[in-house]
Amino acid sequence: MIKKVKHYLENLIEKSTDKTASQKEEQLLENFVQHEYSHNNDWDETTMGNKDDVNNTIYGKINDSINSETKVRKLWPAYLKYSAAACVVAAAGAFFFLKNDPQAKMLAIQTTNTMDSLKLGDGSTIFLAANSQLSYPESFTGDERNVTLLQGNAFFKVAKDPSHPFVIKSGDIKTKVLGTSFHIKLCKENCNVTVVTGKVNVSSAGESVDLLPNEEAVYNNNKLTKQVVSQTILADWYKEDIELNDVKLEEVFTLLRYKYGVTVDLKEDEILNTRLTVYIKNKASLDSILEQINYITNQKFKAYDDIIKTTK
pLDDT digits over 29-75, tens only?
666 666 554 545 555 454 445 555 555 555 554 455 434 343 333 33
Calpha distance 206→201 (Å, rounded): 13
Query: Are 27 and 12 within 8 A, CB to CB?
Result: no
Tens-digit pLDDT profile for residues 162-211: 999 999 999 999 999 988 898 888 887 789 898 988 999 999 988 999 99
Orientation angle between helical segments 23-33 and 51-63, nearest 10 degrees? 170
Calpha distance 193→218 (Å, rounded): 7
Which pLDDT belongs to residue 246? Answer: 92
**Mean pLDDT of all residues in the chain?**
76
Give one DSSP letter per residue of 16-70, joined into a string: HHTT---HHHHHHHHHHHIIIIIT-TT--HHHH--HHHHHHHHHHHHHS----HH
Q: How far is CA 262 from CA 36, 258, 309, in A?
A: 29, 8, 11
- Tell me: pLDDT of 231 over 90: no
pLDDT band at residue 14 under the 50/70/90 scheme: low
Q: Name the percent of the chain lying above pLDDT 90.
A: 33
Q: What is the dihedral of CA 69, 72, 77, 83, to 10 degrees?
A: -150
Query: Which fold would CATH assign to domain 103-111+136-238?
Result: Jelly Rolls (2.60.120)
**Strand 181-186 vs strand 173-177: parallel, antiparallel, or unpaired?**
unpaired
Which residues of the chain does CATH 2.60.120.1440 include? 103-111+136-238
- Tell me: pLDDT of 84 over 90: no
pTM above 0.85, yes or no: no
Which pLDDT belongs to residue 214? Answer: 86
- Residue, of 159 and 305, whose pLDDT is higher: 159
The domain 239-310 having CATH identifier 3.40.190.10: the answer here is no
Region 236-241: what's the mean pLDDT? 76
Q: Tell me if residue 189 falls in helix, strand or coil.
A: coil
pLDDT band at residue 94 under the 50/70/90 scheme: very low
Tens-digit pLDDT profile for residues 105-118: 889 999 887 788 99
Give the closest residue to 219 by CA, choosing from 179, 172, 280. Answer: 172
Which residues of the chain does CATH 3.55.50.30 include? 239-310
Region 277-304: what's the mean pLDDT? 90
* 51 CB neighbour count, 10 Å cutoff: 14
Residue 271 has what DSSP assignment?
G
Which pLDDT belongs to residue 119? Answer: 94
Sequence-distant (≥ 6) Cβ neighbours of residue 138 within 8 angstroms: 98, 104, 105, 106, 107, 121
pLDDT band at residue 95 under the 50/70/90 scheme: very low
Region 252-265: what's the mean pLDDT? 84
Q: How far is CA 109 from CA 9, 92, 307, in A?
A: 16, 11, 24
- Tell me: pLDDT of 310 over 60: yes
